[in-house]
């Protein structure tokens, strides 16, 4: 789930929901089952991919220029 969608934001598998949208739903307390029910084109693997993508985005060193 890491393609760039029509809005220029990260999404995937030709889906219109963005990584940020899925993360926002999860962080707001919505369950995986609820998300899958509300967005029937999503699969469990898509939510897993969103979480993996987000973890990789925040887990890289930043080197400061001197």
> Closest Cα to residue 50, out of 1, 4, 17, 14?
1
Strand extents, DSSP E, the chain: 3-4, 10-11
Report pLDDT digits (tens) over 6-53: 444 555 666 778 999 999 999 999 999 999 999 999 999 999 999 998
Q: Rounded to an integer, what distance in angstroms lies between the CA atom of residue 64 and that of residue 31?
A: 38
DSSP-assigned beta bridge partners for residue 10? 4
Give the per-residue pLDDT at 64.
78
Contacts of 29 (CB under 8 A, 6+ apart): none
pTM: 0.71
Q: What residue ranges define each of the domains in the chain, with the CATH number in brackets?
A: 3-58 (1.10.10)
């Amino acid at each position: 789930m890491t393609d760039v969608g029509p809005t220029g934001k990260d999404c995937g598998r030709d889906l219109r929901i963005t990584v940020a949208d899925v993360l926002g739903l999860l962080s707001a307390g919505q369950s995986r089952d609820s998300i899958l029910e509300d967005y029937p084109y999503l699969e469990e693997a898509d939510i897993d991919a969103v979480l993996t993508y987000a973890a990789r985005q925040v887990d890289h060193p930043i080197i400061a220029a001197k």
